Chains A and B, each alone.
Chain A
């Protein structure tokens, strides 16, 4: 089954490239360029989103920071797209920046939700046993935050696929899935099959990676 989920997207895109008379290397290059931007954006978002959540989840910092972040996440980021293109150009950096802004908030707020579930007596165990800051971070906060990190990832990436295609089309960057859809905008059949292939890819990634991880992380937290 795992193999089927690994092979299905590749097989589909291979057949699809024949069907639309596009060299497979061009299609796969578009897909991998977009995926590459997504992976970079995700890694940066996960580190920053998790780090901010751990830093701001409790105490006086949370009283000030959480309402502020709540407003910030509502900021209409696409309004700043022309300005970003003006400064950074129609580059991968612009796309990655917009993907980060899309992915970071679900991760941040989901990790916060996980950390809010910390039981008082768990905190007391940490204090009475005398764990140092590093041990507190790695043995305590990190495991508790994993379900939130994965949930936030699934939601964030879900939003990011859409943001990625939109940003790539608006910015007009070559070698991207956005460019692919833009090129075939007048052909509904190719667009429909393109979207289907895109969905198979996302479904496979979720089924192979994120959903098993989510299940595993929740089982780890069962008492």
Chain B
């Protein structure tokens, strides 16, 4: 029983009469509640694949099948560059999905404040994105993704625009949220250690065109010990699989 099934996904970009294949024949299944990570270097089409799965990219061949009872309204997305709308306050950014779902104002206010409190942003509800640090912006992005109780959260290199300390803290927060909510997390990254710290399963993509090189189960116990022998062994294995 899978929540998302990819069947022969191929994506070709055409520009000035030239075709460029960015994804070729990707097939795999993702299980409900799984923390699944696509790992690959630049040009492996991992962000494009995430957009195809989330329904943001519609022009591709192959099939994306969703599990029973799952629709696009069950998706949330956390963006690499936060994608907060600069003219809206943090509160208004977070409540967008609830407005779209016609949630009554009182319930909306409560849900937004609950998420903001959870992410330590309650004092910044009326602030605008330009007044926040990178880490706080991404926390607001995470709050926006969580507030609609999604069944799947897509994350496009969510920590890569942050400094290493903030990224580490946010990874832990995301893991905490995942443990708490059991939401299916589908993420892309180019960092092997990040993938190993977070993932239940890692799909390695090769570049130009993006093809599925291997899918790896990560049997390491949680919380992951980043300096353990098991971690190093898997890191070496993944290094061997990645082609540049």
**A contact residues vs B (CB 8 Å cutoff):** 119, 121-122, 124-125, 127-132, 135, 139-140, 143-144, 220-223
Contacts and interface: CB of A to CB of B under 8 A. Distances in A.
A128 B77 CA distance: 7
Interface in B106-159: 129-130, 144, 148
A128 B86 contact: no
A143 B77 contact: no
13 contacts: A119-B83, A121-B83, A125-B77, A128-B76, A130-B101, A131-B96, A132-B100, A135-B100, A139-B88, A139-B96, A140-B85, A143-B88, A223-B84
A129 B98 CA distance: 8
Contacts of B148: 129
B86 A223 contact: yes
Contacts of A127: 55-56
The secondary-structure label for the interface of chain A is helix
Contact of B83 (A125, A139, A144): A125
Interface string B18-59: 000000000000000000000000000000000100111000
Contacts of B56: 124, 127-128
Interface residues of B, number: 26
Contacts of B84: 223
Given A130-B100, A139-B96, A220 B86 contact: yes
B75 interface: yes
Contacts of A122: 83, 85
Given A122-B85, A131-B99, A139-B96, A223 B129 contact: yes
Among A119, A122, A128, A129, max chain B CB count under 10 A is at A128
B178 interface: no
Contacts of A144: 87
B79 interface: yes
A222 B83 contact: no
A183 B54 CA distance: 69
